[in-house]
Amino acid sequence: MSQPYAGGELELFAAATHWKAYFASVLRPFVAGRVLEVGAGIGTNIPFLHNERVTCWTGLEPDPALARRIEEGVAAGSLPGDCRVLSGTTRTLAPAAQYDTILYIDVLEHIADDRGELGCARRHLAPAGHLVVLAPAHQFLFSAFDASIGHHRRYSRAGLLRLAPPECRLATCRMLDGAGFFASLANRLLLSEAMPTARQIAFWDRFLVPVSRRLDGALGYRFGKTVVAAWRAAA
C-alpha cells in the first residue's frame, strides 16, 4: 500500500542525536530477534536501536520515496546490512509473518484507528515478543506543529495503556523529556509554530535532553512530553 508522507520534520529530527540516544537507552532492552519498525521513515532510528541481539531488521514504510532512502542507507553502509525494507503497512504484511519486536517510534499518533493498528500488529507478534510504542504526550500540548505533520492526537499515560493489545502484559511505561515539556508548552502557548527551526531543535537536543536524562529519573519517569510503553506477549 503506497501512502506518501505529508510531514516534513524527518530531516530536522534526524539531527536530534542526543534525544535518539536517550530514548534508545530506554527501549533497547526490549529490542531483539526479528524486529519490525512500523513507519520507519528514512531509517534514522535504526542505528540507535539496533544491537547485537537483533537477528534481522525490517523497516515497514508506506511512502515508497522514504523506503528507498532506507535501501540507499543499507547499500551505502550507513545502516546495518541485516536491514530490509517493505513498502506498505501492517495490513499488507504476509499473514504468517512473525516478529520478536514491533516498534512504533513517533508513528501511532499518525494513525486514525490506533487501537485497530495495535490489534493488527499483535497478530504478527511472536510468543514472548515485545510491542513498543513511543509517542508524544499530553493532548493539551497539541499544537500547530502536530497538526501540520498529521498527528491525530497526543497520549496520556492512561490513554496509551488503554490500548494494550490482547494477551499482552505491560513491561514498562515511562514519561520522558521533562525538560522538553516546557519547550513544548512554550511553543503551544506563545509561538504556535507549525515547524520548529533547526536552531530550536539543536537547542532542545544539546541542552534540554541532557537535563531530561537526569531529571526524568529523579521524578520517577512520571513527567515529560513523551510517553513510552512496552508490552510482552504471552509465551
Summarize pLDDT for 191-227 with one digit per residue, the tens. 666 778 889 899 999 999 999 999 999 999 999 999 9
Rounded CA Rg of the chain:
17
C-alpha 72/C-alpha 83 separation (Å) is 11
Q: Which pLDDT score is estimated for 11?
A: 87
Q: Which pLDDT score is estimated for 8?
A: 64
Query: Cβ distance 132 to 192 under 8 Å?
Result: no
In the structure grid, which three cell numbers stand for residue 106, read together? 513517533
Place of cell 531483539: 32
Q: What global pTM score does this model have?
A: 0.94
Q: Which pLDDT score is estimated for 188?
A: 77
In the structure grid, which three cell numbers stand for residue 99, read together? 516478529
Summarize pLDDT for 114-173 with one digit per residue, the tens. 999 999 999 999 999 999 999 999 999 998 888 989 999 999 999 999 999 999 999 999
Work out the mean pLDDT of the chain and round it to a whole number.
Answer: 94
Strand ranges across the sheet with 54-60: 83-86, 54-60, 33-38, 99-105, 125-136, 226-233, 168-176
State yes or no: pLDDT of 190 exceeds 90: no
Domain ranges of the chain: 10-233
Average pLDDT (62-87) is 96
| CATH class assigned to 10-233 | alpha beta
Nearest to 9 by CA among 216, 232, 155, 201: 201
C-alpha 65/C-alpha 108 separation (Å) is 20
